[in-house]
Amino acid sequence: MTKDPVCGMDVDPKTATEKSEYKEKTYYFCSAGCKKSFDKEPQKYVTEPEASHKH
């Protein structure tokens, strides 16, 4: 299972019907609405790991 980056719901990549590619990574969504929100502003939902660990 993976998390929908928009709503946080658990999504099974094997059965997910909605997905998007962003920065060479695939993201899976629970619904077309979440995919649409992500596609509009992906940077809002994707946090860069190194950015969150700066002090």
What is the model's pLDDT at position 49? Answer: 59
Structure-token pair, residue 50? 């190194």
Helix, coil or strand: residue 55: coil
Average pLDDT, consecutive stretches of 10 residues, N- to C-terminus, the chain (55 residues): 96 96 96 97 81 48
All structural domains of the chain, each given as residue ranges with its CATH number in brackets, are 2-49 (2.30.170)
Considering the entire predicted model, what is its pTM?
0.81
Tell me how far apart the alpha carbons of residues 40 and 50 are, in angstroms, rounded to a whole number.
23
